[in-house]
Copies of this chain bind each other. A is one copy, B any other.
Amino acid sequence: MMRQAGRSLPEYREIRAGRSFMELVHDPKLSAEVTLQPIRRFGMDAAVIFCDILVPAEAMGRSVSIVEGTGPIVEPPVRTRDDVESLNDFVPERDTAFLAEAMGLVRAELGDERAMIGFCGAPFTLASYMVEGRSSRNYERTKGMMLGEPETFARLMERIVDNSIPYLELQAEASADALQIFDSWGGALDEATWRTFIFPHVARLVEAAKGTGKPVILYVNNGGHLLEAMADTGADVLSLDWRVTAKDAIARVGDRCAFQGNLDPTILFSTPAVVKREVRHVIDSFAGAAGHIYNMGSGILPTTPLENTTAHWEEVLRDVTPGASA
């Protein structure tokens, strides 16, 4: 269910009521609680820590708020070289201590038999939120900066990676078993552009993350055309959306990477029988892969009907002894 694990659950909505999203993120007890909710209800063998990909943007000195129906707002936006230089370098142990504390609480309940996955946003995704100041369908200011002022763009990407590395290291020290890099928007770029302007920064981040000794998972939403480039970053696992078939991914990447994915989350708007059939299809389709972590191909949608979510996890976990595979 990606990092949106709990957001479709009634027990999540209960905790969320009357609180802003970022309030939950900053409160270690609450974020540990919503991290654990889906594990308690469904019994999966791994938890993704509840956090927001924009936490580092906030720690770098921008105001971040998540507005219902609009998405994140980042103020002030980063548009010039001076804006880029005005960003802070943050100290994760001091400025994002809430995350380490939340991870400690989650670990205490998970024990050693279930895995905990830490994460950060990919540099292009963070850059696009910083440059646009909000969600965007086309990222025209970001791509305009990338092509029109490539040095400013590269410096922004560099500063994001400089800050993302110790942020992931903090999570590794806080007992994360794997580190995932989420690129929500990198799929908007063609492969040549991605290789030229994005790849060096992602590869540096992946390499540093691997330096912690933890496996690194790279997800690029809508990134089916980028699989070879993603594999070239050195990531251990490529997380796929539902538009990429296992067959195609295995043919193109071989055993260089394991795969994670990739059920279309909108399938959970059909019926329990269809959901179970499609889950089985996904699991079977990755039989020839070097490794497979079952997951959805994108975050679960908040309005997903609970009976279908339940059917989904019943089918996924049908052959799994809880705890045994962690």
Contacts and interface: CB of A to CB of B under 8 A. Distances in A.
B148 A274 contact: yes
A295 to B, nearest CB: 15
Interface string A259-270: 000001111011
Interface in A278-326: 278, 301, 303-304
Nearest to A275: B147
How would you classify the secondary structure of chain A's contact residues: helix, strand, loop or mixed? helix
A143 B264 contact: yes
Contact of A190 (B148, B225, B243): B243
A242 interface: yes
A91 interface: no
Interface stretch (A29-37, A93-101, A134-142, A157-165): A134-142
For this complex, into which size category does the number of interface residues on chain A fall?
35 or more
A273 to B, nearest CB: 9
A144 interface: yes
A180 interface: no
Contacts of A264: 143, 190, 193
A189 B143 CA distance: 26
A185 to B, nearest CB: 12
Contacts of A139: 266
Interface string A200-217: 000000000000000000
Contacts of A266: 138-140, 143-144
A269 B245 CA distance: 34
A20 interface: no
Interface in A65-122: none
Per assembly, the copies of the chain total 2
Contacts of A148: 269-271, 274
Contact of A225 (B141, B243, B270, B271): B243
Interface in A207-246: 222, 224-225, 242-245
Given A222-B222, A245-B191, A138 B265 contact: yes
Given A138-B266, A138-B301, A144-B266, 19 more contacts: A140-B265, A140-B269, A143-B266, A143-B267, A144-B269, A144-B270, A146-B270, A147-B270, A147-B271, A148-B271, A189-B243, A190-B242, A190-B244, A190-B264, A191-B243, A191-B245, A193-B264, A224-B224, A225-B243
26 contacts: A140-B265, A140-B266, A140-B269, A140-B304, A143-B264, A143-B266, A143-B269, A143-B270, A144-B266, A144-B269, A146-B270, A147-B269, A147-B270, A148-B269, A148-B270, A148-B271, A148-B274, A190-B242, A190-B243, A190-B244, A190-B245, A190-B264, A192-B245, A193-B264, A224-B225, A225-B244
* Chain A to chain B: the 4 pairs with minimum beta-carbon distance, closest first: A144-B269, A148-B270, A147-B270, A143-B266
